[in-house]
Structure 1
Amino acid sequence: MTTNTVPQLQSKKNTFAPLIMDVAVPVGSYYLFKDGLGMSTLLALGLSSVVPAVRTATSAVRERTVNAFAALILFVNLVGLLLSFVAGDPRLMLAKDSGVSSAIGIGILVSVALGKPMMTAAVKPWLVKGDAEREAAWERLLAGSPAFRRAERVFSVVWGVVLLGECVVRVVGAYTLPVDTMVWLGSVILAVAMGLGFFVGGALAAGPMARMLTTEVKAGARTFAAEAEAGEARTAAPAPVLAR
């Protein structure tokens, strides 16, 4: 059995890179513009939004296909960039950053309600691992296992709730803490939310899905072996002798 490692790693990278949203570069550029170049807080926040917006757009053009994640994040990035230059309140601009999480969280929950969980695009590459047998097992479970489909929905619900919660925390911080504090603390809050999403989503959904997938792969292998043995037996059986 051969595992296609390169496409697998590329799929993981393309799925999660938009969600991470370039934490280090925007924060570092904010302090560079503000403290190093002496720009205003408003302008520094605005310019620090350029990099994630450009990266998202470039990625979408390069790949020529945009999944639901990339499309949603590209939209909120562009809107956020425009708001960075028209809004006059640095605290409003910090609160705007939390709007990215809320937009994604709402989009994920809506996708669950529509029967097309958005986070499936994120969890599937990690579980299938680029393996043809696991891919086939995934499709069988998706078609015939209510428990598997329920876990698929739960994974998306967890991420939707986590991102909405992260939005609330960052909005509160934007209007109660110093602006300079929230610039770096916002990234910490995002990192904690991501970790919480991975932990809870893994425990409640991705873990059970992985176990069901492994069981289904083994069952499929046994079925294939049994069918192969039956085929060999039919081939080896002597032809019937016709009476004259």
Structure 2
Amino acid sequence: MTKNTGNQSRNEQGTQNPSMLDNFRPLLLDVAVPLGSYYLFKDAFGMSTFAALAWSSVVPAVRTAWSLVRERRTNALAGLILIVNVVSLLLSFVSGDPRLMLAKDSGVSSVIAIGILASVWLGRPMMTAGMKPFLVKGDAEKEAAWERLTAGGPAGGSGGASDRSVAFRRKEKVFSVVWGLVLLAECVARVVGAYTIAVDTMVWLGSVILVGAMVIGFVVSGGVAAGPMEEMLAAEVADGRARQQEQPVVAVAA
């Protein structure tokens, strides 16, 4: 009888696919919980803007401190949200000028945009944390393929695999650059509008600009980065399966 030792060793490991919750947990803790708690404290509990910002800063502050103490590294998303909240807290003391208060709201977008662009320059694109769960979808093969592509391709891989890895990492940076530029443009548009458009009009138009920027961000980043990355990820998964099937078959006595 024959036995494929490579496949057997993989099956014996009993690797389980990570759940969607496992993939989304960092994003939920770093972004959704702070932002959601802010609106909950402000709208549902009637807290002041200052108090809502202060209480919603607890989770990112704890996450940032935990990363520094336990993991000996910074948590980029949690740190950025914490900085945004601190800046907003400081700006909340500014009052009296309705146009300045409208312009202040765009400061959140500008801080996030600059943080995203800086992360690309440092070689650690910040928006990857939000994009990866949508592409991997909790699949162990896609997770392994993602790690190979971001690490430079499989050891001893072909030139094609290496080229794919380079292209994949380039698209990963493009995804963050698109979002950084979109949020920066949204910030500029809202600041200009705050000082050139009637205050009553800008109160609702600011939300329209923000939603429009988000739509543009999703469409453009999906077309130029996330879509091609998903295709490369699928190709890498297929190549990984082919490499498994090509492993030597060892004859074993019956």
Instruction: Provide TM-score, normalisation by structure 1.
Output: 0.76
Equivalent AA in structure 1 for residue 23 of structure 2: Q
Determine if the alignment matches structure 1 residue 13 to structure 2 residue 28. Answer: yes
Determine if the alignment matches structure 1 residue 61 to structure 2 residue 62. Answer: yes
The Cα shift of 1:2 comes to 4.0
With 106-115 and 2-11 compared, the bigger mean Cα shift is at: 2-11
Counting helix residues as a fraction of each chain, which structure ranks higher?
Answer: 1
CA distance in structure 2 between the partners assigned to 1:236 and 1:60 by the alignment: 58
CA distance in structure 2 between the partners assigned to 1:79 and 1:59 by the alignment: 14
What is the match of residue 115 of structure 2? 107
Equivalent AA in structure 2 for residue 171 of structure 1: V
Equivalent AA in structure 2 for residue 151 of structure 1: K
Equivalent AA in structure 2 for residue 187 of structure 1: S
Q: Quick one: percent identity of the two aligned structures? A: 56
What is the match of residue 78 of structure 1? 86
- Aligned 1:41-190 pairs, distance under 5 A: 47-48=48-49, 50-58=51-59, 60-61=61-62, 64-65=66-67, 67-142=75-150, 143-144=152-153, 145-190=165-210
The Cα shift of 1:176 comes to 2.1
Q: Is the 8 A contact 2:31 2:78 kept in 1?
A: no
CA distance in structure 2 between the partners assigned to 1:57 and 1:72 by the alignment: 13
Q: CA RMSD in A?
A: 3.1
The Cα shift of 1:8 comes to 2.9
Equivalent AA in structure 2 for residue 235 of structure 1: A
Deviations, residues 77-121 of structure 1 (Å, cap 9, x unaligned): 222222222443222122111111111111111111121111111
With 146-155 and 47-56 compared, the bigger mean Cα shift is at: 47-56
CA distance in structure 2 between the partners assigned to 1:199 and 1:139 by the alignment: 25
What is the match of residue 36 of structure 1? none
CA distance in structure 1 between the partners assigned to 2:83 and 2:104 by the alignment: 13
The Cα shift of 1:186 comes to 1.8
With 197-206 and 174-183 compared, the bigger mean Cα shift is at: 174-183
CA distance in structure 2 between the partners assigned to 1:23 and 1:61 by the alignment: 15
Larger RCO, structures 1/2 (Cα 8 Å, 6+ apart):
2
The Cα shift of 1:168 comes to 0.6
The Cα shift of 1:48 comes to 3.7
Q: Using a 3 Å threshold, how does the CA distance of structure 1 residues 62 and 121 change in structure 2: closer, same or farther? A: closer
Give the structure with higher Rg (CA): 1
CA distance in structure 2 between the partners assigned to 1:16 and 1:83 by the alignment: 21
Equivalent AA in structure 2 for residue 99 of structure 1: G
- Structure 1 gaps of 5+ residues are 34-43, 239-244
The Cα shift of 1:185 comes to 2.4
Q: Using a 3 Å threshold, how does the CA distance of structure 1 residues 53 and 167 change in structure 2: closer, same or farther? A: farther
Deviations, residues 12-38 of structure 1 (Å, cap 9, x unaligned): 53455279x459949x85xxx8xxxxx
The Cα shift of 1:125 comes to 1.8
With 162-171 and 105-114 compared, the bigger mean Cα shift is at: 105-114
CA distance in structure 2 between the partners assigned to 1:52 and 1:191 by the alignment: 22
CA distance in structure 2 between the partners assigned to 1:53 and 1:97 by the alignment: 16
- Secondary structure, aligned partner of 1:164: helix
CA distance in structure 1 between the partners assigned to 2:92 and 2:103 by the alignment: 11
Q: Using a 3 Å threshold, how does the CA distance of structure 1 residues 49 and 155 change in structure 2: closer, same or farther? A: farther
CA distance in structure 1 between the partners assigned to 2:60 and 2:118 by the alignment: 25
Correspondence for 1:198 among 218, 230, 233: 218
The Cα shift of 1:62 comes to 6.9
- Secondary structure, aligned partner of 2:124: coil
Q: Is the 8 A contact 1:99 1:167 kept in 2?
A: yes
- Structure 2 gaps of 5+ residues are 1-15, 68-73, 154-164
Q: Is the 8 A contact 1:16 1:122 kept in 2?
A: no
